[in-house]
Structure 1
Amino acid sequence: MTEILEHHTLFIGGRWVEPAGPDTIDVVSPVTEQVVGRVPHATPADVDRAVAAARGAFDHGPWPRMALAERVEIVSRVKDALAARHRELAELISLQNGSPTLFAVRGQALSAVGVFTSALAAAERFQEEDERQGTGGPVLVRREPVGVVAAVTPWNVPQLTIAGKLAPALLAGCTVILKPSPETPLDANWLAQVCADAGLPDGVLSVLPAGRETSAYLVAHSGIDKVAFTGSVGAGKAIMAAAARNLTSVSLELGGKSAAIVLDDADLSLAVPAIVGGTCAANSGQACIALTRVLVPASRYDEVAGALTGAFAALKVGDPADRTTVVGPMVTKAQQQRNLDYIRIGQEEGAKVLTGGGVPEGQGTGWYVEPTLFGDVTNDMRIAREEIFGPVVCLIRYETEEEAVELANDSAYGLSGAVFGADTEHATDIARRIRTGTITVNGFRLDLAAPFGGYKNSGIGREFGPEGLAAYFEYKSVNLPAPARS
C-alpha cells in the first residue's frame, strides 16, 4: 500500500499553522480506492484568519507596493520551480485524480508552467498607468490591484486552474486565498511551500482545503474583493449570488457542451485524432472544453461513425501510471456513476451505443468508464444538452451547414469547439459564427497566451494572456489640471 501523505497544518498567511478545527479530508485514489493522503479541513475560523492576513498584507504590506519588476522576479522563481519539478507535480496530481501519466505531465504540470510563462510575458508588456487627452484636459489612467482574491479551483486540472488565477493575481499585486477542491488538496499544499520558498511575503497566500460549507463562507466574506472560480454552473451561480451581497467582483469559468463540426470536405485523418484528443484523451473526458457533440453531415455520417468507433474502441483504459494508458479512472465513484447513469439515459432516449457503454472488463478496482460513442443522437436529448464530464461523446447528423451552425449554437453553453474542413478560410468563417469563447480550426487546442472563458452558462470573464492579467486590476482615472491658456 502507498504511504499516506499526511499534512497536519494549514498554510495561512504564508506560515504553516495549526487548524482551528479537528476535522480532516481523506484523499482517495481513484485507481486503488485507498486513502493516499490526508489534510486538515479548514473551517470558517480558518477563513477569518486567512482573510485577516490577506487584508493586512494588501492594505499595509509590501506586496502591492513593490515595483512590478520585483513581483515578476518572485513569480518567476515560482514558475521556475514548477518547471524544474514538473514530473513530481504530475505524479502528485495523478495520485489524487487518476489523470493518465502523459496528460498529467503535459496537460497538468507543464500547462501550469505555461500559464505562469504567459502571465509573466503579459506583465512585461503591462503599463501601470498612461496619460491620455480627455474632453476637459489630460487624464492619467491608472491600473491598481483589485485587492484580496478568493480563488476556488476544481479537481480535474487543479494546477492549471490555480495558475490561471494565482499567476496574474500575484503579478497584479493582489493577495490570494486559495480554496482547492477536497479531492485534490495535496498539490495545492505542495504549491504553497514552493511559493514560500520563492520568497512570497507573509500574508500574500493562504491555502484552505475544504468542502462546500467553508467555501460558501469564504466567497461571501466581506473582506474579499474578488472571487475567481472554476467549476460547475450550479456552484458558479451560488457563488455569484453570495458575492452579490457584498458587490464582490466575480470571474466564473464554468461548464461546456462543445461542438465539433465536421464539414463535407473534412479530412478524417486530421479530424478523428483531434476529436479523440479533445474528448476521451483530454483527462479521460473530465474536461470542461471537451468536444462532446460531434456534428456530422448526413452524407458522411456512416464514414465518420465508423472511423470514430474504431478510434474510441482502440483506446487503452487502465492504470494512469502506464504510459500507454489514454483513459484513466473517473475521479470519484460518484463521478463514475454519473457517467453510467447518462449512458443509460442516452439509451432510454433512443441513442445507439456504437462502442463502450459500461465499465471495462477486468477493472474490478478503480472508478473506470469505457470510452463511449453514441450514434443517432438528436440535439434535444439530455446526453446532448447536459454536461456529463467523462469519456462519453454524441454523434449528431446535420443536412446543411446552416443547420450545423444552429445546432452548435443551440446549447446553454459556449466554452469551446472545433471546425474541420479542407478549405481553411471557409472553416474559419464557420468558426466565427459559433458563439463560444474558444474554437479551433482543424484541431483541438487550448492556447495559454489567448483569452479563455465562455459565453452563456459557460461563465463570465476571461483567463490567460493579457486579458487574464487585466482581470485583476481596477482602473482609476486621475483628472489632471488642464494646461493654462496663454
Structure 2
Amino acid sequence: MHDHDDVFIGGRWVTAHSTRRTEVVNPATEEPWARVPCSDERDIDDAVRAARSALPGWARTSAGRRAALLHRLADEIDSRAADFTAIITAENGTPVAESGAAPRHSAGHLRLTAELAPVLTDPDDRPNPMAPGHTVVRRVPAGVAALITPWNFPLGLIVVKLGPALLAGCTVVIKPAPETPMAARLLMAAVAAAGIPAGVVNLVTGGTVAGRALVEHPGVDKVSFTGSTEVGRAIARSCGERLRPVTLELGGKSPAIVLDDADPAVLAANLLEVTMRNTGQTCKACTRLLVPAERHDELADLAAAVVAAAPLGDPLDPATFFGPLVSARQRDRVAGYLAAGHAAGAKALTGGGVATRFRRGYYVEPTVFAHVTPEMRIAREEIFGPVLAVLPYRGLDEAVAIANDSPYGLAATVFGADEQRATAVAERLATGNVGINHYGSNAAAPFGGHRDSGLGAEFAAEGLHAYLQFTSIHYQS
C-alpha cells in the first residue's frame, strides 16, 4: 500500500490539511493499492495561492524559455515511461498495449505545443482601416488555470491542458479524477525534475468537494474541464456567474457511418479503435455503427466477429485489447445498459452480460447489439463501456439524420471507398471531429465538441488561445 498524506503545492510535497483519504483500487484485482488525500477547501486555497504567487514571474518568463521547459518536461516523461505505464494500468485497468503509448504521446504533445511559441512572439501590428494609426495586439496569460481531468486517460488528458497553459504563461492547479491520482503524482516528479519553477504547477487530489472548491475559488481565472456533460453544465453555470472563461470537453454518442461502397476489410481493420478503444471508455468512441439496411446482417456479423476475436483479460498482458472497467460502479452502470438493450429487443450477437469467467476484476463482455433502433437507450445515451449498437439506414439522407439525431456532437467516422463521397457525408455531420476510414485525431488540429459535447477547443493554436487574453494598444500614427 502506497499511503500518501501530501499534495504538491509551491514546488514541494506538503502535508494536506484534510485528514480524509481516497483509496486507489486496481480494477483487475479489486485490491486497494494506494491512498491519497481528499483535499478540502484549505488545501485548494493553499494551491491557488501558490499558483497566484508564482504567476507574475512565470508570465514574465519569455515564451522561448517556457517552450524549452516544455521540451525538458517531455524528456522527463519519456524517462519515466515504464513507471507511467504500470501506474496507469494499475489505476484504471487500461491494457498495457494502450497505456504503454501514453507517455510517448504525452511527451510528443508537449513538444508540438512548444513549437507554438512563435504565436506568442511574432509581432502582430495591424493598420487601422478606418482612421490614421495602427494597433499592436498583445497576447497575455489568462492567469491561474484550474485543470480538472477524468480517469480514462489519466496522463494524456492532463498534458493536453498543461502544455498550452504553461506555454501561454499561466500557472495551474491540477485536480485529477479521484480514481486516478497516481499518474498525476508521478507527473509532479517530472515537473520538478524539468526545472519548472516552484508554484507554477500544483496538484491537489480528491472528488466533488475539491473540484467545486477549485472551480469556485476567487483566485482562479480560467477553468478547463474534461468529463461528463452533467458535471460540465454545473461548471459552466459556476463560471458564467463569475464571468470566468471555461473550456469543456464533455461526453459523446458518436456515429460511424458505413457507406454502401465501404470495404469490409477496412472496416474490420479499424473497427476496434473507432468504436471500443480503451475498453470503450473513450469520449469520442463511435458506439453507433450505422449500416445500409440491405447489408445490416452482413456488417453486424462482421463487427461481432471482430469484437469477439479481440482478447479480454489481464491488462498486463500485451495481447489484451479489452481490460476491466475502471470501477465496480462503472461495471454496474454498463451492465444496466446491457439489460436495457435486451429489454428493448436488441439482439446481442456477441457478449451481452457481465463477464463471469474472472474470479476478480470489473469485467463486462464486449458486446455488439444488432437490430437497434434510434430511440433505444443504447443508441442515445453514452454508455462508456465496450458496447456497440448497429443501426440500419435506408439512403444517405436517413444515415445523416440518424447520425445527427443526438444532443452530442463530439466525433464521427465515415467509412467509404470513394474518399470524396465520404468527405461530402462528413461535411453534413454536426460534430467537431470526423475521421475518414479510421479513428481520426491530430494534435496539430483543434479538438472540441459541438452542442452538449462541450465548449471551446483543445490542441494546436486554438488550444493555446484558450489560455490567453488580448490587449490592443492603439497608436495614432
Normalising by structure 1, report the TM-score. 0.96
Contact 2:70/2:111, CA 8 A, preserved across alignment: no
Q: Secondary structure at the match of 1:46?
A: helix
Q: Secondary structure at the match of 2:115?
A: helix
Contact 2:135/2:474, CA 8 A, preserved across alignment: yes
1:122-157, CA deviations, whole angstroms, 9 ceiling, x for partnerless residues?
224543541011122200011111000000000000
Q: What corresponds to 1:333 in structure 2?
A: 328
Q: What is the correspondence of 1:406-425 to structure 2 with a 5 Å cutoff?
A: 406-425=401-420
Kindly report structure 1 stretches of 4+ aligned residues shifted beyond 4 Å.
none
Q: What is the correspondence of 1:283-432 to structure 2 with a 5 Å cutoff?
A: 283-432=278-427
Contact 1:151/1:176, CA 8 A, preserved across alignment: yes
1:265-291, CA deviations, whole angstroms, 9 ceiling, x for partnerless residues?
0001001221222222x1110000101
Q: Which sits farther off after the overlay, 322-331 or 299-308?
A: 299-308
Rounded Cα–Cα distance in structure 2 between residues aligned with 1:284 and 1:409: 25
Q: Percent identity?
A: 44
Q: What is the correspondence of 1:34-433 to structure 2 with a 5 Å cutoff?
A: 34-58=31-55, 60=56, 62-106=57-101, 108-127=102-121, 129-134=123-128, 135-136=130-131, 137-280=133-276, 282-433=277-428
Contact 1:253/1:459, CA 8 A, preserved across alignment: yes
Tell me, which stretches of 5 or more residues in structure 2 are unaligned? Answer: none
Rounded Cα–Cα distance in structure 1 between residues aligned with 2:305 and 2:83: 34
1:418-457, CA deviations, whole angstroms, 9 ceiling, x for partnerless residues?
0011111110111111111111011112222211110010
Which one-letter code corresponds to 1:274 in the other structure?
N
Q: What corresponds to 1:26 in structure 2?
A: 23
Which one-letter code corresponds to 2:348 in the other structure?
V
Q: What is the correspondence of 1:454-465 to structure 2 with a 5 Å cutoff?
A: 454-465=449-460
Please provide the CA RMSD for this pair. Answer: 1.1
Contact 2:147/2:174, CA 8 A, preserved across alignment: yes
Q: What corresponds to 1:11 in structure 2?
A: 8
Q: Which sits farther off after the overlay, 62-71 or 268-277?
A: 268-277
Contact 1:275/1:291, CA 8 A, preserved across alignment: no
Rounded Cα–Cα distance in structure 2 between residues aligned with 1:163 and 1:276: 25
Normalising by structure 2, report the TM-score. 0.98
Rounded Cα–Cα distance in structure 2 between residues aligned with 1:350 and 1:366: 29
Contact 1:98/1:331, CA 8 A, preserved across alignment: yes
Rounded Cα–Cα distance in structure 2 between residues aligned with 1:234 and 1:312: 30
Q: What corresponds to 1:437 in structure 2?
A: 432
Label 1:240 to 1:386 Cα distance change in 2 as closer, same or farther (>3 A).
Answer: same
Rounded Cα–Cα distance in structure 1 between residues aligned with 2:124 and 2:312: 54
